[in-house]
Structures are given as structure tokens and as C-alpha cells.
Chains A and B, each alone.
Chain A
């Protein structure tokens, strides 16, 4: 694929009179796993919403696969998982997946994604009876249904045990290897370490970009955590 999967330029978002994103510019190469890091409230979710095309923006541009973000044609190519599990709590796991699969016209994928996120034995459970981590896996499964070319995942591994996190990150890389592009926000440094590239944000701005080792070099730090802290604090 030529050109980046996502190209953001001079993006500004204002919410309640307060600037949430100020002049954000970045590119996300196709076929990579890009990690989005930064303190809580720095604008990670807003940037992800803007990439998906559900965020009102005050200025700038976001192009996804060469067309404006939110264009109808992108809706079947972009998978989005919000931070809170956005699935129907009063339906079963299978009921949720079958509904979204019908909307996407991908009914054949239901069993596959149920297995991918390890929820096969909960297929008949109501979502409201599941644990927090299981609920977020249902939400992730819905995002995976359409085999999207771009997968935007807002803290997909919160509340998951280390084994499952490892499994999911293995899957993220398999998806990237098969040509998908992933944008994943996280607060966990060992997850950041697994990303091909990182975007570090602070107060609505992109502070640094690069591979994990480039960021360590840039901050002259031993670990990614130290690099994260020193870059964020601007030391």
C-alpha cells in the first residue's frame, strides 16, 4: 500500500471551550501496530475518535487510506473499540456479535472472533453477567468482526490478565503482518514496548514519535517508562 494508513495534519478539537487537541500532526504507516501513550486526559481518546470520524473537529484534516476520516466508504474498513465496552448488556455475547455481524454483513465471522477473544464458552452468557475484562473482550470482538483494514482500539487490554494480554498482543501483530493497521492506546509500558511505533502525547499535543528504542535514545533513558516520564515532564 502506498502512503500512510492515517495522515493527521494541524488537527484541532475544542470541547466545552477548552482545546483538547491543539495542532496535532502525525502519520500512521500501514501494516504497523502504533501505540498511543500519554497521561490520562491528554487527548488520546479524542484523537482516536477523530480518526474513526465520530469526533467534531475545529480544524485541520485527517485522511484515512487517502480519504477524509468518517467518509461512508470507510465505515466497513475501520474497526473501533471505545474505552467503555459499547455492547448491549441485556443481550448475550452471541446476540451482540450476531447483531453487529448482520449490520456489517459478516455473519460468517461470528464464531471465529468469539474464539479469537477467548469467549467461546461464554457465547450464551448475558453481557451484564460477565466480568469487566470479559465485557471489553466482547467489545473487541465486535471491532474485529469486519476484518477491518484499520483497527482503532482504545485501551483494549484494561482489566485483562497477563496471559490474555499476551495472547491479544500476539493477535495484534498477526493482524498487522497480514496487512491491517492498528492504533492502540495503552498505559502499560510492556505493551508500549511491543508496538512498532509510538506516539507520545501530552496536553493535546504530540510530544514525540518513533520506535520504542528511538524514544529511549531521544530521552537518554534506560527503560521506556523512564523515557515516558522524562519526555512527558519535559526534562
Chain B
């Protein structure tokens, strides 16, 4: 891995995004708009909105970076550019880190916009620091990049790739306690939630929002960071120099 090649890859990915103005607009506008929609849907249930607002601010980047990464990697595979890159002096880590850096930057901007709208306009209140919310959101984005990179290897078309979101992410988000707090779910579902990474990401955000911290928050963050490493390692094994 070299700084030159990793940096060049991150720059190239950002350059591709920069030329796609509509995607950039969607990245910046969709999360705050959805949050605003929820704020007024839950107008009569303000505590419910407060409970999920900050976890959602931090989960949007995960979902969006997952989708963008899986499509981008699928394109690399199907257009032949991945094969070309694998024949060049570029390590798998250069490619993965290039994507991760580029999308983490985009996620930071996205979370900045969403947080500004949430805290400034929608009356969302966090007992914990806003900077911590942004940091957790960026780590969630990296988890999204890692999962997208890994799962894109199992999609042979963009139709399949986009459906991995409802297939893989949505159940985890529901199990995280979006509608019903985790503790009120049946025992079997609580066990399932404990075995999956996204509920930990959600829980970390909820704890920071409530001003809590301590051991459970540390566990949440450790599980998210560990999941990023595992998913990136699994993703790296799907990038083959030699293909059939």
C-alpha cells in the first residue's frame, strides 16, 4: 500500500462523484428532508421523534454509503476496470482504503448537513456532544462502505445489488429499535439483534443522544469498529487478481 496510489484512488472516486451533481444533491438533501418529514409525522409524539432522530442522523450515511459502494464496486467488476487495476501495481488495500477515505469524507459532509438541520431547525436535542454524533456517523459510513464492498461480490447485476439494502440492512435497522425499543422485543429477536452489527451502531447513537456513555457505549463502538475490520477483510478476499 502506498500513499500515492491510495490518495489517487480516493481522488478518482471523489472526482466521479463530483461529476454526478444529482447524486451529490441527493446525498446532501435526502437525509435532512426525511428527518424533517418524520418530525412532522411525529408532531404529536415529540418524545418518539427525539428518541430516534439522532440514531437516524447517524444511520443515513451507513445506508447510503452501502448502496453507493455496492454499485460502484459492481461497476468496477463489470466494466473491466477492476481487472485492469488488478493487473497494475496497486494493492487491494490501496483500492479499499481509497474508497473508504473518499466515502468517509462524503459521509462527514452529509452528516454535517443533516446534523445542522436536525439541531438547528428541527429542535432535536442531544445530551451528548454533537461532534461525537458526527464521529459515530462517519464510522457507520465506513461500516456501510465495508459491507457494500463485501456484498457487491455476490451481486451480478445492479438490480440485485440495490436489493441487498432491504435484504441485509433493513431487518437490522428494524431490530435496532426504530419502532419498538429493543427491550420490548421477543427474546429470540433480541438475541438476533445482539448477533448483528447495526443494532450496536444504533445503540451507540441513542446512548450519546441520551447523554449516557460508559461501558456499554464502549462495547457498541468496539463492535462497530470490529465489524468494519472484519467486513473490509472479507471484502478484500473478494477482490481477486486472478478470476475464472
A residues within 8 Å of B by Cβ?
Answer: 15-16, 52-57, 70, 72, 75-76, 78, 80, 82, 84-91, 95, 99-100, 102-105, 126, 142
Contact = CB atoms under 8 A, between A and B. Distances in A.
B94 to A, nearest CB: 8
Contact of B19 (A53, A54, A82, A90): A90
Given A53-B242, A82-B83, A95 B12 contact: yes
Contacts, number: 79
Given A91-B19, A95-B12, A80 B243 contact: no
Most buried by A among B79, B84, B85, B242: B84
B242 A54 contact: yes
B12 A88 contact: yes
30 contacts: A54-B242, A55-B242, A55-B243, A56-B242, A56-B243, A72-B89, A75-B89, A78-B87, A82-B83, A82-B84, A84-B80, A86-B80, A86-B81, A86-B83, A87-B81, A88-B12, A88-B16, A90-B16, A91-B15, A91-B19, A95-B12, A95-B15, A99-B12, A100-B88, A102-B4, A102-B8, A103-B5, A103-B9, A103-B89, A104-B89
B180 interface: no
B42 interface: no
B191 interface: no
B45 interface: no
Given A90-B20, A103-B90, 6 more contacts: A53-B242, A56-B244, A75-B89, A78-B87, A82-B84, A84-B80
Interface in B1-36: 4-5, 7-9, 11-12, 15-16, 19-20
A103 B85 contact: yes
B87 A80 contact: yes
Nearest to A69: B242
B4 A53 contact: no
A166 B207 CA distance: 69
A53 B79 CA distance: 18
A52 B86 CA distance: 10
A47 to B, nearest CB: 14
B241 interface: yes
B81 A88 contact: yes
Contacts of B243: 54-56
B79 to A, nearest CB: 6
Contacts of B16: 88, 90-91
Closest 9 CB pairs of A and B: A86-B80, A102-B8, A99-B12, A75-B89, A86-B84, A56-B242, A82-B80, A76-B89, A80-B87
A165 to B, nearest CB: 22
Contact of B242 (A70, A75, A99): A70
B87 A52 contact: yes
Contacts of A95: 12, 15
Contacts of B83: 54, 82, 86
A100 B7 CA distance: 12
A75 B87 contact: yes
Contacts of B7: 102
Nearest to A50: B242
A149 B4 CA distance: 23
Contacts of A104: 88-89
A105 B241 CA distance: 20
Nearest to A72: B89
Contacts of A103: 5, 8-9, 85, 88-90
A80 B89 contact: no
B242 A142 contact: no
B84 to A, nearest CB: 4
